[in-house]
Chain A
Amino acid sequence: MDILTLFWNLVPVTLVQGLIYSLIALAIMIPFRVLSVPDLSSEGVFPLGAAVTAALLTVGAHPLVATLASVAAGFLAGMATALIHLKFKVHSLLAGILTVTMLWSVNLRILGKPNAPLFGFETLYDWVSRAIFPSLALQILFFGVLAVTLILALWWLLQTDLGLGLRGIGANPHLAPALGVSLVAYTAGGLGLASGISGLAGSLMAQLQGYADVGMGVGMLVNGLASVIIGEAITGRGTLLRQISAPVVGAVVYYQLSSLALALGLNPSDLKLVTGLFVLLTIGWPYLVGRKVTGTGL
């Protein structure tokens, strides 16, 4: 029973973690599901967001400015991936890998060192309320409200003319230009939007844990994919709102599941292997049992 007590005590901390990482899952869902342009940039944009915030906070910038700058940096990185993909005719996955690789150097330049502590600097949480940082309950409330706000904002955006254009290029990239939707502009905007959210996640994470680290994006992507898959299994994809909620629900569940697995004795260093196998199995399952024969899993 000690094991379950250990897990139970960690539930609030894991919930905060899950809610922050739910932004990454959202950022992964947008390219995969809305634009049908699978993109891996998050893995490099997450530490980019952290690095930009850290660099700005340490030179005395206002935490809100630092956070927004991280969103903007993420947006630019996402646009870069889109332009590499469309202008240089590179597959979007490879374009994302190139962006992540190049961002490693950029992030080190921005931070000036592999790891920058942020203790003692005012953070976004302090700016909102001094009570947030010491209270797990308020952190859960903060990130919960943020996640719900993002879900609703995306839900609204994707129902506007602009958002319908984004879904249009995802649903039929041949038709959309014939209806006047620019493939380049909308893909760049869509990937920019997704990476902006990843940048925000990196910024919030750095401010919460009190440091930025160039290595903090490693594994984000597979965790995010696992979250999206779990979330879609729970909420389904039948409506726009379900599709948008899925990554957040999935991330919350995924991080509790991995916490449970660790409590049950799974070696933390094995977690990525287990997560990877989980993603593979879920994607491949319909093919293995012969229910699906065409298309791709994701």
Chain B
Amino acid sequence: MSSTDSSTPALRLDGIRITFHAGTPNERVALDDLGLVVNQRDFVVVIGSNGAGKSTMLNVIAGALTPDSGQVELDGRNVTQLAVHRRAAYIGRVFQDPMLGTAPALSIEENLALAGRRGQRRGFGLALNAVNRKRFAEILAPFGLGLDTRMRVLAGKLSGGQRQVLALLMASLRKPRLLLLDEHTAALDPGTAEQVMQATRRIVEEDELTALMITHNMQQAIDFGNRLLAMNAGRVRLDLAGQAKRDVTVDDLVQRFAGAADHQLLHA
């Protein structure tokens, strides 16, 4: 991927509106005129209660959902109508469910080879060769999971944490313009979640990635990222960056979330 002018936002959402079950009694506005600009190399953490629209937003960015109206721009290019597999050239994504982020019936090295051609043409060249096998092992080695010596083990045999680290590496193997992390530690025990978050930090920092991470874990929201968004009812209600983000505490967040009405959030 060619480097883009650092002044062009990595992501721009403009007037995104999505209504589920439109025209039925279950009609629900999931995203309500949502606007968001994410700058290059931002690490944005998104919090919000269930149904706030976080996952819907990620699905709109990834292309799994097409908005009823509004525009999605990646690196200045309008991708609103682009299908998931076409948009994959820009986006690496890790899902909440460790089962979803890897292909269980393929080996570790096959998973990496599959991910290694994200956004590229796939031809009749052998997917694995001595060169990329060595490279994949070198990429896995620093994460201390012992996977680099078990490259031919099926991904389905790995633990949830190992799978999430593998999924992270797959999402970032070809440097994405935007890394989407959809509560990717929510299904893990705290110790494993901590390991996966360390791996996340390492990858985002070393590869200088722009990332958007959804989490329900307030401590993660404090510890990670340079910008914090709180969503509610399909909109961004709180947007902290810089010093404000650094100063915020778990208590702050819990308080603002627990009792606060929308306007209080806005005027934080």
Contacts and interface: CB of A to CB of B under 8 A. Distances in A.
Interface of A: 157, 159-165, 167-168, 170-172, 174-183
B62 interface: yes
A177 B85 CA distance: 4
B104 A172 contact: yes
B127 A182 contact: no
Contact of B123 (A161, A172, A175, A181): A161
B127 A160 contact: yes
A162 B114 contact: no
B117 interface: yes
B106 interface: yes
Q: Main SS of the interface on chain B?
A: loop
A23 to B, nearest CB: 22
A157 B127 CA distance: 10
A178 B117 contact: no
Contacts of A163: 127
Contacts of B124: 157, 160-162
A161 B113 contact: yes
A12 B101 CA distance: 49
Contacts of B105: 167, 170-171
Interface residues of B, number: 33
Interface of B: 62, 83-86, 88-89, 91, 93, 95, 100-106, 110, 113-115, 117-120, 122-128, 170
A175 B113 contact: no
A162 B93 contact: no
23 contacts: A160-B125, A161-B122, A161-B123, A161-B124, A161-B125, A161-B127, A162-B122, A162-B123, A164-B127, A167-B106, A172-B103, A175-B102, A175-B103, A176-B85, A176-B114, A177-B88, A178-B84, A179-B114, A179-B115, A180-B85, A180-B88, A180-B117, A182-B83
A172 B102 contact: yes
A181 B122 contact: yes
A174 B95 contact: yes
A177 B64 CA distance: 9
B126 A179 contact: no
A159 B103 contact: no
Contacts of B125: 160-161
A165 B89 CA distance: 15
List of 4 A-B pairs having minimum Cβ-Cβ separation, nearest first: A171-B103, A180-B88, A161-B122, A171-B105
A96 to B, nearest CB: 22
B154 to A, nearest CB: 10
B101 A175 contact: yes
Most chain-B Cβ atoms within 10 A of its Cβ — which of A164, A171, A180, A181? A180
Given A170-B105, A178-B88, A180-B120, 16 more contacts: A159-B126, A160-B125, A161-B117, A161-B125, A161-B126, A163-B127, A164-B113, A165-B117, A165-B122, A171-B105, A175-B100, A177-B83, A177-B85, A180-B89, A180-B119, A181-B122
